[in-house]
Structure 1
Amino acid sequence: MTTIARPDAGFLRSPSAEKVLADHAGDAAFATTLGRGLVVLEAFDVGGALLGNADLAARTGISRPTVARLTHTLAELGYLRYDWKLSKYRLGARALRMAHPLLAGMEFRQAARPLMQDLAQSVRGTVSIGLLDGASAIYVETARSGDVGTHVPDIGMPIPVILTAMGRASSAALPAVEFALLEQCLKADNPDLWSAYRDKYHAGVEQCAERGFCTCYGEYMASIHAVAAPLFHVPALKQSFAINCGIPAFRLQSGQLESEIGPRIKALADSIRALVNEVGPMIAHS
């Protein structure tokens, strides 16, 4: 992958430790062993919650002997747990500790949660807050009604920026310079995906500027239609947040997403900002 030269680009860190490891090959200041350990941890996902050393070597490209040393160390530290019957590893409870300080620092989530739940119940869908992280947006809070279909958002779950209303709205919340740098990141991260969806990505950002929300009609998941609104940007922490509402497509009437759900998610974003004394982003991109 082409390395993009950019100043103070910590907010554009790749969502994959594996990519960062490849980009820093030959960098004497880069702790390669630590990087490899994080690559191993990131190899665990919903589809691979239980993995052996051979599985991890295949997923990461790291040699099996090196993987074996890393998994042994991570298990001793509590970040992995070893299943003796299956001879495989799963994530350990200690991994949760790493997320807690970050989530605890987002105190607005507690204020937002009841309002999110009210909207989710009203529209029989999901309402979530996402944090921009490179080419992904990561859920940091979510609420849902009882039956939302096959897509059930959860805290920590990443979704692609280019394909989603959440991603486009969180991008729209960025200051202009950071927005331009993110666009370079998205193009370099997956040129084919960028070429196929850049027009819809730009259209979503323009919708946020004009109406305060953007729509997405099944581009990420065909069965789910969604709207999202920029929430706010925290300059000191390089954090950009958005809020979305996803509804099973069969529950929506023609035009309802734009005429009803969109204005409601914008109003919810306004209410959350008022509760926590945050200022909405100035959107002038694309």
Structure 2
Amino acid sequence: MPTPSAEAVLADSAGDAAFATTLAKGLVVLEAFEGAKLLGNMELSVRTGLPRPTVARLTHTLAELGYLTYDPRVAKYAVGARALRMLHPLLAGMPFRQLARPLMQDLAYSVRGTVSIGLLDGSSMVYVETARSGDVGPHTPDIGMPIPVVRTAMGRAAASMLPEAEAARLERQLEAADGAMWSGYRDLYRDGLRQCAERQFCTCFGDYMPAIHAIAAPLFRLRDRCFAINCGIPAFRLQQGQLEHEIGPRVRALAESIRVLVARPESAEPGSRGAKTQTR
């Protein structure tokens, strides 16, 4: 199911007596570090919409607990090592990563690009495994890095596995998260879903990063989590038609090999968008 941000949940939970508002605000502060290494209380206040005194109390508490660290030289905070501990239980529940990695690395070396697996999380895809060749250009994926669903092949491939009701809910969430982005990329996003329905992979010609062209295939659903696999290649290395006619079938075959390896066969009941990779 599409997962809203902590900030969105906080906004929707006013009046819920069972909702721990202070905890939610702390998570909103932690989420605000996405894409940033150092942030001060004023910057966090702007990013979260929380009052600066509230932010100051939350950052102090999070720093005392080890989830943030404070740098007095610049009077700013960074995410602390304790936050990294929270990643391990999630990744430990995805043992297919270790099985898939050698196959991913072979393809990455072969095409001189990156090959990654991502997990659908709200309006973002989050990398959970990645392999790369030496020089991959300006985009170097890493575990835990988020990328937008609507602008990426990986996001479109993952969304293609959603049943109709969940797919409609995700579209509403994408529009609410960033109306301008949704308006600008909606048609390309839906075309990606159509491509996955027809050939089990979709292309992305620089929609996220102009210098990188990508292709992605639906992988599988695991405990209602949607996973997709992509391959990103610097545009200058590709010949016309190579992405869709050569790399696409190879990524589709890689996805099938991984499903066989981890005993996740194709489902007889694909999502409404036609991907043949939904499993439960």
Instruction: Tell me which amino acid in the other structure corresponds to 1:158.
Output: P
Give yes or no for contact 1:231–1:280 (8 Å, CA) kept in 2.
Answer: no
1:238-277 alignment runs, 5 A limit: 238-277=224-263
Give yes or no for contact 1:233–1:239 (8 Å, CA) kept in 2.
Answer: yes
**Structure 2-normalised TM-score?**
0.92
Change (3 A) 1:189 1:56: closer
1:278 alignment counterpart: 264
C-alpha distance in structure 1 between counterparts of 2:6 and 2:166, whole Å: 21
Instruction: Tell me which amino acid in the other structure corresponds to 1:262.
Output: G
Give yes or no for contact 1:131–1:241 (8 Å, CA) kept in 2.
Answer: yes
Query: How large is the Cα RMSD of the aligned pairs?
Result: 1.5
Q: Pick from 13, 20, 23: which aligns with 2:3?
A: 13
Instruction: Tell me which amino acid in the other structure corresponds to 1:72.
Output: H
1:143-222 alignment runs, 5 A limit: 143-222=131-210
Change (3 A) 1:26 1:136: same
Give yes or no for contact 1:187–1:194 (8 Å, CA) kept in 2.
Answer: yes
**Structure 1-normalised TM-score?**
0.90
Structure 2: stretches of 5+ with no match in the other structure: 275-280
1:136 alignment counterpart: 124
Residue 65 (structure 1) shift: 1.5
Change (3 A) 1:185 1:43: closer
C-alpha distance in structure 2 between counterparts of 1:19 and 1:117, whole Å: 37
Residue 59 (structure 1) shift: 2.0
Residue 283 (structure 1) shift: 4.5
2:51 alignment counterpart: 63
Q: Which segments of structure 1 move beyond 6 Å, counting only runs of 4 or more?
A: none
- What SS does structure 2 have at the residue aligned with 1:75? helix
Instruction: Tell me which amino acid in the other structure corresponds to 2:2.
Output: L
C-alpha distance in structure 1 between counterparts of 2:41 and 2:63, whole Å: 12
Q: For each residue in 1:81-126, what CA deviation from the matched residue of structure 2 results, as whole angstroms up to 9, or x when unmatched? A: 1123322211110000111101110010000001001000100000
Residue 202 (structure 1) shift: 1.6
C-alpha distance in structure 2 between counterparts of 1:68 and 1:189, whole Å: 26
Query: Is 1:23 the equivalent of 2:8?
Result: no
1:78-157 alignment runs, 5 A limit: 78-157=66-145
C-alpha distance in structure 1 between counterparts of 2:80 and 2:145, whole Å: 17
Change (3 A) 1:232 1:89: same
Instruction: Tell me which amino acid in the other structure corresponds to 2:186.
Output: R
Larger CA deviation: 193-202 vs 70-79: 193-202
C-alpha distance in structure 1 between counterparts of 2:199 and 2:184, whole Å: 24
- What SS does structure 1 have at the residue aligned with 2:38? coil
Residue 180 (structure 1) shift: 2.8
2:278 alignment counterpart: none
Instruction: Tell me which amino acid in the other structure corresponds to 2:77.
Output: Y
C-alpha distance in structure 1 between counterparts of 2:110 and 2:233, whole Å: 11
C-alpha distance in structure 1 between counterparts of 2:8 and 2:166, whole Å: 21
1:3 alignment counterpart: none
Q: Percent identity?
A: 68
Aligned residues: 272
Residue 206 (structure 1) shift: 1.4
- What SS does structure 1 have at the residue aligned with 2:86? helix
C-alpha distance in structure 2 between counterparts of 1:124 and 1:245, whole Å: 10
Q: For each residue in 1:108-155, what CA deviation from the matched residue of structure 2 results, as whole angstroms up to 9, or x when unmatched? A: 000000100100010000000010111111111001011001111111
Q: For each residue in 1:247-278, what CA deviation from the matched residue of structure 2 results, as whole angstroms up to 9, or x when unmatched? A: 00000000000110000000000000000000
